[in-house]
């Protein structure tokens, strides 16, 4: 088995079109990776993902460790066989989930926020269920923007006891499933990812809070650096002793919060020690996130692949790719799909409506048109807005599948269009068509 490799095929400004070659196939970049947290992309089968054209999926180390466990997955032939996905897989380190059990619970207002139009900050503070939905049950924070970017917000929300404890060794935490106690260390995080056999894996990191001061952020970054070196050591050692060595590509993660000096320091550190880079951490807002990418990319080797953790809004996709990001993952298309929010192309789709609408509204109950004009996906070629509206209102499970299928297709299709534009040196032209 060979270690995954990356090469750039074409550039248009800083935007790159390339390919990541793995033993399970080639990922043409830029590429969108749907999130398959628990070894499944919610409401879609692996065959449907292939029909859509998805080339790689991201799964979650933390969740798979708790259930069913890496040993079980290993005994059943590894994650690819376990979930019947014979294309490339990426796994994250679990650091993001551990953060949500710590500062994310302990301090009011530290949530996964959204930078909305006109600079307004909103918060998603509940899980929205179709069964509970009423006509006015769509908080604007969810409808207008969904992002994994972590930002600060002053809030009246009451704090809850944190479920983790961070030490030099790692993180002790309570399972969100049954409250049982666990410990996740850099060594164990990498060992889990090695055992389940993902092609692209991520070093264990400490996610800083957006409420941290410069000194607190620096301390968190220094801990991340030590943890990442331990992750790398474990990764290199594991390759030599495993019975069936997995030639995996290990991504180092950049951090540093909103601070330029720390971001550049982190980028240089990761670039020195790792063959691939994942851009992570907390951002104040979209503008700060774009700045962070620019600071980071300036310190990186041009030939290394760059993955952006947790973005999926249309404008974000254009902006991060324009700044040199190769791959990205996000729950936006699947989560919105289950809520009945579906994507549409320009000119119907635009910045103002966030390129989507709520198909569960009564005005679509008799509409014979497809979800999106000029969309070639299976759903738009075979079903009407009226039918999908009926499914949601009837609480039929097929509603989730059809809306999610379309949304994943849309984001993947957009990414493919961007790749082709880069190859043709027309990236800016395409961006203007979509965002202006």
Helix (H, G, I), strand (E, B) or coil at 7: strand
For the chain, how big is the Rg over CA atoms in Å?
Answer: 21
Q: Are 363 and 385 in contact (CB under 8 A)?
A: no
CA distances from 16 to 197, 209, 307, 323, 359 (A): 28, 31, 12, 9, 35
Both tokens assigned to 186: 């850099």
CA gap 57, 78 in Å, rounded: 15
Sequence-ordered list of residues with C-beta below 8 angstroms from that of 392, at least 6 positions apart, any chain? 130, 340, 359, 360, 399, 403
CA gap 387, 369 in Å, rounded: 10
Q: Are 324 and 306 in contact (CB under 8 A)?
A: yes
List of E strands, 210-340? 249-254, 276-279, 306-308, 327-330
Q: Are 281 and 254 in contact (CB under 8 A)?
A: yes
Q: Are 436 and 368 in contact (CB under 8 A)?
A: no
CA gap 100, 106 in Å, rounded: 9
CA gap 178, 89 in Å, rounded: 28
Both tokens assigned to 337: 């799909």
Both tokens assigned to 224: 């991340």
Residue count of the chain: 436
Q: Are 228 and 118 in contact (CB under 8 A)?
A: no
CA gap 178, 172 in Å, rounded: 15
CA distances from 375 to 141, 270, 274, 346, 411 (A): 27, 40, 40, 11, 12
Active site residues: 92, 329
Q: What is the DSSP letter of 76?
A: T
SS (H, E, C) 310-336: CCCCHHHHHHHHHCCCCEEEECHHHHH
Cα-to-chain-centroid distance, residue 25: 20
């Amino acid at each position: 088995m060979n270690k995954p490799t990356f090469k750039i095929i074409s550039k248009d400004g800083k935007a790159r079109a390339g390919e990541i070659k793995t033993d399970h196939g080639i990922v043409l970049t830029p590429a969108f990776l749907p999130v398959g947290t628990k070894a499944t992309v919610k409401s879609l089968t692996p065959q449907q993902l292939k029909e859509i054209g998805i080339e790689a999926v991201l799964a979650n180390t933390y969740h798979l460790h708790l259930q069913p466990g890496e040993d079980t997955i290993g005994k059943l032939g590894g994650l690819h066989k376990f979930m019947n996905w014979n294309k490339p897989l990426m796994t994250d380190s679990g650091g993001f989930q551990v953060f949500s059990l710590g500062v994310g619970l302990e301090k009011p207002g530290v949530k996964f926020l959204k930078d909305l139009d006109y600079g307004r900050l909103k918060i998603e503070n509940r899980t929205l269920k179709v069964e509970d939905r009423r006509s006015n049950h769509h908080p604007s924070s969810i409808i207008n923007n969904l992002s994994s970017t972590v930002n600060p917000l002053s809030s009246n929300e009451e704090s809850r006891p944190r479920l983790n404890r961070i030490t030099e060794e790692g993180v002790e935490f309570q399972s969100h499933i049954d409250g049982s106690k666990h410990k996740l260390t850099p060594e164990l995080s990498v060992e889990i990812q090695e055992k389940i056999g993902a092609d692209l894996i991520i070093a264990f990191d400490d996610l800083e809070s957006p409420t941290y001061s410069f000194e607190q952020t620096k301390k968190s970054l220094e801990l991340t650096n030590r943890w990442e070196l331990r992750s790398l050591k474990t990764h290199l050692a594991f390759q030599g002793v495993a019975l069936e060595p997995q030639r995996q590509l290990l991504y180092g993660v950049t951090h540093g919060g909103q601070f330029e000096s720390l971001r550049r320091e982190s980028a240089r550190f990761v670039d020195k020690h790792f063959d691939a880079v994942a851009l992570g951490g907390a951002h104040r807002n979209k503008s700060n996130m774009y700045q962070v990418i620019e600071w980071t990319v300036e310190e990186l080797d041009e030939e290394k692949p760059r993955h952006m953790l947790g973005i999926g809004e249309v404008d974000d996709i254009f902006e991060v790719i324009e700044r040199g990001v190769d791959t990205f993952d996000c729950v936006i298309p699947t989560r919105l799909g289950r809520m009945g929010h579906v994507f549409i192309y320009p000119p119907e789709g635009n910045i103002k409506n966030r390129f989507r609408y709520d198909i569960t509204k009564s005005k679509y109950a008799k509409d014979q048109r497809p979800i999106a004009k000029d969309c070639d996906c299976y759903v738009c070629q075979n079903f009407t807005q009226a039918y999908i509206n009926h499914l949601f209102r009837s609480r039929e499970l097929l509603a989730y599948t059809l809306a999610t299928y379309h949304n994943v297709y849309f984001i993947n299709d957009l990414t493919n269009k961007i790749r082709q534009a880069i190859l043709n040196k027309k990236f800016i032209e395409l961006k203007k068509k979509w965002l202006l």
